[in-house]
Amino acid sequence: LVPVLETARTAKDMMALPPSRVAAIAIIHAIVWFSAVLGSAVSFVIIPTRTSSTLCISNSKHRRQPSVPRASSSLPDYGTTSVEIDEHRLAKIDKWRRKDLDGKSLVDQTMLELENDADFQRTSERIATVGEKQMSIEERTKRRRALDSLGVPSFTEFLVDNGAADAPVLYRRDPEVLQLNIGLYCNQACGHCHVESSPLRTKEMMTAEVASKCIELLKKSPTIHTLDITGGAPELNDSF
């Protein structure tokens, strides 16, 4: 509406405006009048100035917020979050809990996605043809060639280039981090997963016996300050 309104401080100014502009201003004033008559909660104020006239919309109780989309059930805070970051307060956790997912699993959905995934189907066919061992060898060769094309040296070459002997000897130090991969079973099958975890990896899981040995190792290693548990989805292992 701002481009429609022109300078209109005096009757002379109004007379100087084109008829179409005057008609537009009259229509806006009529809308304002009817809004007041109908008891609208929003008040419209036309403020004429020498350079331009501005239609200001204000509320008698609250400062006007920018127009935002109405929140949806799937995104409960979308369109309602204030830009005043310092005024934000965290809501209770129950507000965001997806109770409709309680007791349900992603496994069925993931299995369906795998059936429709072209890359996964090609990999499965390749494994059936040459076997997992040959697939691992091929993958290792491809990875090394990719690193060579980028000029990335091997680990031994890196040690030599950084001042180690021609035949560097590695000395074991006291361990500080214990990393445990307790199984490749996962309720998802992410394309970026470097161990290719999925709901299909049901047999490659750490046993209770091995888990007990890990606990024993941890007790006897006082220098270890960090325990890193990974998978797969660790919480889906019975020994987690």
For 120, left (φ over 0), alpha (ψ -120 to 50), or beta?
A: alpha
pLDDT in tens, 131-178: 888 988 998 899 899 989 988 888 888 888 887 766 667 788 999 999
Per-residue pLDDT at 185: 94
pLDDT value of residue 95? 61
Are 214 and 183 in contact, with CB atoms under 8 Å apart?
no
Contact assessment for residue 44 and residue 5, using Cβ atoms and an 8 Å cutoff:
no
- ∠54-60-62 over CA atoms, to 5°? 95
Query: What backbone phi and psi angles, to 5 degrees, belong to 156?
Result: -65, -45
Enter the tokens of residue 201: 């990896």
- The pLDDT of residue 23: 75
Residue 105, H or E segment: none
pLDDT, greater one: 169 or 203: 203
Choose the weakest-confidence range: 90-99, 152-161, 228-237.
90-99
Name, in order, each residue with C-beta under 8 angstroms of 5's C-beta and a sequence gap of 6 or more. 21, 24, 25, 28, 46, 48, 52, 53, 54, 55
Average of per-residue pLDDT values in the chain? 75
